[in-house]
Structures are given as C-alpha cells and as structure tokens.
Structure 1
Amino acid sequence: MHLSWFQIFRLGFVQMALGAIVVLTTSTLNRLMVVELSLAAILPGFLVALHYGIQLSRPKWGFVSDAGGKRTRFIIGGMFVLALGAMLAAGAILVFPTSFALGLAISILAYALIGVGVGASGTSLLALLATTTLPHRRAAAATITWLMMIFGIAATAGSVGAMLDPYTPALLIKLVGIVCAVATLATIIAVWGIEKRLIAVKEPDHTPFLEGLAQVWSETRARNFTIFVFLSMTAYFMQELILEPYAGLVFAFSPGQSTALSGAQNGGVFIGMLCVGILATGFKVGSLRNWVMAGCIGSAASLAVIAMLGPLGPGGPLTPAVVMLGFFNGMFAVAAIGSMMALAGEGRAQREGTRMGLWGAAQAIAAGFGGLVGAGLVDVLRLSLPDDQAFGSVFLFEAAIFIAATVMAAKIMDRRMPSAAMVPGE
C-alpha cells in the first residue's frame, strides 16, 4: 500500500512540529544571546553549526531506513530528543549571566541533542515519504509537508514573539516548554499506526553503509544535485543567525519584535511556496529549473535591499523587505524540494532514503557553514565598521552566493522537469 493524501497531511504535522521547535533555537535564543546577553554573534553561530554538524549522520539514518524500515520509532524518538535539547538550550540562557562556562557547556549538550533529534526524526520522515508515496505524488507530497513546516515556523515565531514581550527568563522557559510539549504530542498522534499498513521496504538489504553511500555518490545526477544543494543552502542560511541581531542593533527591535520579524519572513516563505504551487497546478507555468533560478535571483535582490536599508536605522521599512526575501526564498525552496523528491527515486533501487539523507547532510553542512560564516564575518566587520555597514556587507556577500547558485542551477538542472511534477494527481 501507499500513502493516501490524508496520510501525507498527517505526516506534514511532524514537519510542522520540527519547524516549530527549531525556529526557537535558531532565531529567538540566538537573538537573546547577542543582544540581551551581549555575547559575540559567533557563539550562537558555533552552536547552530554544531547542531547542523551532528546532522552529518543523516545519510546513516536514511540508509538504516532503506535497510530495515521501522521509521516510526526514529521519528518519535528523534522528536523527544529534539524537545529535550530545546529545553536545555532555553535553560542555558538563564545560566549565562551567572556562569559563562556552565552556560556554554549546557548549550553545547543542548545543541548536540537538537542535531541528533532533527537528524533522526526528519530524515526518517523523508525516507518514509520517499519510499511509500506513489512516484507521481512525491513532489506534491514534499510541497505539502514543507508548506506545513513553514506554517509551523511562521506561526510559532509570530505567536511566541507576541507573547515574549515584556521579556523575562521565566516567560521564555514557559513558552519553550509549551511549544515542545505540543510538538511532541502532535508527532505521536500524526505517525501512530501509520506505518503498520505500509510496506516501505520489501526485503532486508544487507549492503554495508559505506558501500551503499558510495553507490549513490557514483550517480552523476545525485552527486551534482548534492553540490547544488550545498551552494544554494549556504546562501539560504547565511542570514539566519544575523537577521534578528541586525533588527535589534540597527533598527532597535525588541526581542518580541525581532522574533515576530522571523515569523513574518517565514510567512513570506509560505506565500512564495503557495504561489508557485498554485501557478504550477492551475497554469502549468514554467519548469522546476526556472522556478529555482527565479527564486535565487529574487532572494539576491531582496538581500541587497535589506543591506541598503541599514543607514535608515530605526523606522526603516525592514519588515516588508524581509517578507520579500522570505517570498523568494520560498519560491526557490519549493522548486528545489520538488526536484529533490522527484530525483529520490531515480538510480539504484532501495536507495531513496540514502539519497534524501545525502541531500539532507549537504543542507545541514551548508546551514551550519553558512550561519557560522555569516556570524563570524559580522563579528569581524563590526570591529572596524558601523553596525549597519557590517551587517549590510554580509547580506551583499550572501546575495552574490545566490547568484552563483543561479548559474549552477542553469547548468545542472533538467530543463525538461516540469512544474507539473509538483501537482497532485492520480
């Protein structure tokens, strides 16, 4: 049997839960470290890079799913670990003012757990989708679940941002605890019993992990797409750790306002994804390749606008520019995700999970690398430049990487892969 549309929507709630927890650890807590605690931006950059570095285990999680199935336990177990890590990360914010060393130690443990949780739960979920969804539904299934994840991110950032002012440490712990509890419960309800009626792996595969990974890497399309994912996602994530501090230091946003800004950005991502889906479904407009390229170019232009707003300072129209960035990010992301799911079933059989894991690892490396480089560059530039110029220079560098990703997409992506691949159909 294969996943029905209702079951695909159910699994989308797991993606929503993942996004809801992760956005708190990569945006809200990051801003509190840099602005309220006056710590160097490289510190949260290092911590977020650590959690992405741990996700290098994604190919292994995907390979295990290919070899033996039983993904439900990894999805639920990973969510428990993620929730625990998020609570520890929030607790560390309370410890830093009294003991930097202890706060750092707790944070390192917390973000390592976050990486393990996201890797286990997220990769196992994608492997389940890739191996139990009918081929012509895969891209649409990915689009649906990612839209739900972005909605979870935007809704969480917006609601937590509204409730976090006036900020107190006790309120932070309370809000993070509520989000983690709801996300974990939603995951259990979403996946409970869903795998029993599905046959994701027909027979055990005893191929050693490294051999299986080498088989996938030898596939030209899989290898080229991995490189593209790394480059484009480096650009996508470079602003993740510096946008909220930029809003706080240059535009005088409060903690709640900057968290809400993250929600607005992800609201833009959601709208961008939805618009591409509607155009692809209703009008069969363009190819996945063209949507990816348009999204990358638009993201570069948006970053240039955000950089140019810096000299205006408080009162500058930062939020509309950030929403525009989110819109084009969403356009790029949904087309890339559609390509990913469509390509997951190409090549050697029973390697869908390994391919998804490989691309997930490339994304994780890029996210950690991009975030760390962005935060590090800001710290260095702030030593000799005003805050608006330091942050603006990094945003322009990120825009240049998006342009490079556009060129690569033009060269390696299949012109013949239509946007209609994302359309639900029978």
Structure 2
Amino acid sequence: MPAAQPKGLSWFGIIRIGLVQASIGALVMLSTTVLNRLMVVEYALAAAIPAGFVAWHYAVQLTRPLWGQVSDKGRKRTPWVLAGLAVLAGGVLVASQATPMMADGFGAGFALAVIAYTLIGIGVGMGGTSALALLASGVAPQRRAAAAATTWIMMVAGIVASAITVGALLDPYSPERLMEVASGLALVTVAVTALAVFRLEQGHVVFEETRKDEPAPDFRAAIAEIWNEAAARRFTIFIFVSMIAFSMQDLILEPFAGLVFGMTPGESTQLGGQHQGGILLGMIVAGVGGSAFKGKLTSDLRLWIVAGCLASAAGLAGLALAAIAGPGWPLGINVFVLGLGNGVFAVASIGAMMGLAGAGEKTREGVRMGVWGASQAIAFGLGGMFGAMGVDIARRVQAHDGSAFQLIFAIEAALFVLAAILAVRAAGSQAMPTRASQAQDREIFA
C-alpha cells in the first residue's frame, strides 16, 4: 500500500489565516490612509508628517526577519500571531488619539504618535510574519501558491470592507467619532483573530522537507545564505523596486481627493475602498487566469507580473491627467483601474514568493518570509516618504496642487515601468520546491 500523505493545513485552516490577514489589513488601513488624510486635510499638517509616521512603522518592521527566526525556533507560531494583532490594535487606538492632539499641542501629540506607530510596526511585523511563516510551513507544497493568493485576497477584502464601513461611519467627522470607530474596529479584529487561530496548529504536520529535524541556523548565517542565493537576492531587489512604485500613491491619494476634488473624509475613504476593490478583482483574475493558483513553474507567472506593472503604470498616468482636469474626471473608475493592475501584479508576485519560501538549504520559511517582508517594509516607507515629500516640495515650487500631484503620479508610473523591466529577469515561481527542482528554480531567476 502507498504511504499515507502527510496532512497539512486544510482549506478551512487556510481561510482562518486569511481572516488574520484581513484583520491586519483593516487595522493598517485606518492608520495609514484615514489618519493620513485627517492630518493633511482636516488638521492642515504637512504631508511629510504622516508620511514620516508611516515610514517609521515600516522601519520598525525591519525586525521581521528576527520575528521569523523566533517563530522558526519556537514550537508554535499562533501565539505570536495573536500577540502581534493585539499590539497592532493598541497602536491604532493610540494613533487615533494622537492625531487630533497634534492640532492643540503638537509636541505631545507628535510624541504620542511616534509611540503609536512604533507599536503598529511591531504588531504588523510580529503577527504578519508569523502568519505567513505558518502558511508557508503548514501548507502542503502543491497548494502553497494558491493558499498565499487566497489569504491575500481575503486581506484585501478586509481592507475594502473596513474602508467602506469606516468611511460611512466617520461622517460627519469629529475626534470623538474617530475614537468610537477605531475602538470598534480594534475590538472586532482582535476577536476575529483570536477565534481564527484557536487550536489552528493542532493535528497537522510541518512541511520542511529534510530540514525538519535540523536546528534552525543562527540569524547571521540565515541572512547570508539567502543573500548568496541568486534567485532569492534578485527577487528581493524586484520586491524593493516594485513596492516603492506601489506605495508612492498610498499616502497622497486621499489628500489628492480632498485637495483637488473637494471630497470629504468619508468620501475619500470610500474612494480608497474602490482602489482596494480593484486590487481584489485583479488578484482574483490573476489567481484564476494565471499560474498563481496552479503551483507550476512557467513563464506565465512572469507575464502576469509584467502585465500588472504596466497596467498600474497606465492607471497612474490617468491620475496624472486627472490632477489637471479636476472635478468631472471619472476618478472612481481611474482609481479602480489602478487597483486592478496593482492586484494582478501583487498576486503574481505572491505566487513567486511562496514558490521560493521553502527553497533554502538551511534557512526556514520564517526567516525567508521575514527578509522579503523587510524589503517590502523598507520600500513602502521610502515610497510613502518620496510621494508625500515630493508633493509638499512641488506644491511650494509650483504653487498649484494639481501640477504637484501630476508630477508625483508621473514619476510613480515610470517606476512601475522600471519594475516591469526588472520582472523580466526577477520573476518566476515554483510552488513546490524540492531538492531536485531548486536548481531549475534558481536557473529561471538567474
């Protein structure tokens, strides 16, 4: 009789991890989009201030490889997931309190916001890395790419749902209403996470091939192995460049809607929900139509990555035109198209990431996911800062809001074209890396 196949996480277990991702996305949405818009428009702060906070929370996420290493060495990953979500929710509540404080006493509010975004960065790094490491090590290799795409689609769905709900509840805006909405969101997301991870790791094996009985290497050795591997190194560089392009509009889209199109906080938050809705559809299209759900190593996945980058560039070119056209431009459709391209690019890249997650000779999934998460965090921080500071400088130099936003959107579109060029060499995926197939995987990335 053939040997019984080891039992990994079921699809129900994968969906439970997706609920964790959705909770993380919902909380981060409030801290990086809603509060950002409030600081710039309602409280008339320079765009560089909220961008600095967001960049700082990404800088804190440079600890992701360390959290991954701790997760690799421990017996359980779910306690780190739950602890991370609790810290993240607490940080969001503190940030919601600090935002209106800066209008009355800037120094005290600023200091409190720094503490808040530190907690947010720790929470995302701890909870997010541990959840992705659990997904990479607890899911059967042949379904890793599909599992990753599914959980990320659920994360975007959580962002969309929370953006629409928060946008509806936040109008008419007041600091008291902001705290009520933030408190409700924090309570719901922590409760959902606690239910999702309850006994999640019981009754399934860990897929770590021949490394399962070996001790995890020390942190420096793990980082050195990853960087010396051509496939992982080039993928890290691609993630870095593409995520800078992805994130430059992140902190200026809602202020753009308020300053150029005169939208209220609730309306601009719902516009962000349209962008996330486009991302959601793009992920589904790429996941079903491309190879991200099939777990195959083909050039098809590379084509989806390139197509997503170019579609994103086209959407940003449209926003550059909208910045001059102003009210009357179909902004909602434009933002949805941008999101569609972002989603195609993102889910194809996730498929590639999961294909390489278990490909190390000694390093385990936690550290490898942590390294890519840290690269993404650096890129998001820099991209957000470049976008916001670029708008501030351009507004002063050009003395015209529309022209300033047009310049930044055009630069971002060019960066997506560069990311597409890099993807020609740096994209590829194998959802089931084995010792025999790792050489083939490295050849494609080389």
User: Are the aligned partners of 1:251 and 1:316 in contact in 2 as well (CA < 8 Å)?
Assistant: no
Instruction: Pick from 249, 265, 274 the counterpart of residue 264 of structure 1.
Output: 274
Equivalent position of 1:395 in the other structure: 409
TM-score (ref. length: structure 2): 0.91
Instruction: Pick from 194, 216, 236 the counterpart of residue 226 of structure 2.
Output: 216
Name the stretch that deviates more: 272-281 or 79-88. 272-281
User: Are the aligned partners of 2:281 and 2:343 in contact in 1 as well (CA < 8 Å)?
Assistant: yes
User: Are the aligned partners of 2:292 and 2:351 in contact in 1 as well (CA < 8 Å)?
Assistant: no
User: Are the aligned partners of 2:355 and 2:431 in contact in 1 as well (CA < 8 Å)?
Assistant: no
Q: CA deviation at 1:198?
A: 3.3
Query: How many residue pairs get matched?
Result: 419
- Secondary structure, counterpart of 1:198 in structure 2: coil
Q: CA deviation at 1:69?
A: 3.5
> Partners of 2:74 and 2:228 in 1: how far apart?
23
Q: Is 1:304 equivalent to 2:317 in the alignment?
A: yes
Letter aligned with residue 343 of structure 1: L
User: Are the aligned partners of 1:241 and 1:375 in contact in 2 as well (CA < 8 Å)?
Assistant: yes
Q: Is 1:322 equivalent to 2:360 in the alignment?
A: no
> Partners of 1:412 and 1:330 in 2: how far apart?
18
Name the stretch that deviates more: 343-352 or 271-280. 343-352
**For the structure 1 residues 63 and 133, does the alpha-carbon distance in structure 2 shift closer, same or farther, using more than 3 Å as the test?**
same
User: Are the aligned partners of 2:87 and 2:120 in contact in 1 as well (CA < 8 Å)?
Assistant: yes
TM-score (ref. length: structure 1): 0.95
User: Are the aligned partners of 2:290 and 2:304 in contact in 1 as well (CA < 8 Å)?
Assistant: no
Letter aligned with residue 28 of structure 1: V
Q: Is 1:108 equivalent to 2:114 in the alignment?
A: yes
Equivalent position of 1:93 in the other structure: 99
Q: CA deviation at 1:278?
A: 2.3
Equivalent position of 1:180 in the other structure: 186
Equivalent position of 2:265 in the other structure: 255
User: Alignment RMSD, CA only?
Assistant: 1.9
Q: CA deviation at 1:191?
A: 0.5
Q: CA deviation at 1:326?
A: 0.3
> Partners of 2:232 and 2:152 in 1: how far apart?
21
Structure 2, unaligned runs of 5 or more: 1-6, 434-446
> Partners of 2:10 and 2:155 in 1: how far apart?
19
Name the stretch that deviates more: 120-129 or 314-323. 314-323
Q: Is 1:357 equivalent to 2:370 in the alignment?
A: yes
Equivalent position of 1:348 in the other structure: 361
Q: CA deviation at 1:101?
A: 0.4
Instruction: Pick from 324, 344, 360 the counterpart of residue 331 of structure 1.
Output: 344
User: Are the aligned partners of 1:68 and 1:204 in contact in 2 as well (CA < 8 Å)?
Assistant: no
Matches within 5 A, 1:114-263: 114-200=120-206, 202-203=212-213, 205=215, 207-263=217-273
> Partners of 2:427 and 2:28 in 1: how far apart?
30
> Partners of 1:130 and 1:283 in 2: how far apart?
15
> Partners of 1:300 and 1:419 in 2: how far apart?
28
- Secondary structure, counterpart of 2:281 in structure 1: helix
> Partners of 2:241 and 2:155 in 1: how far apart?
22
Name the stretch that deviates more: 168-177 or 211-220. 211-220
Letter aligned with residue 264 of structure 1: Q
Residue-by-residue CA offset, 1:130-161 (whole Å, 9 max, x unaligned): 01111111000000000000000011011111
Letter aligned with residue 339 of structure 1: A
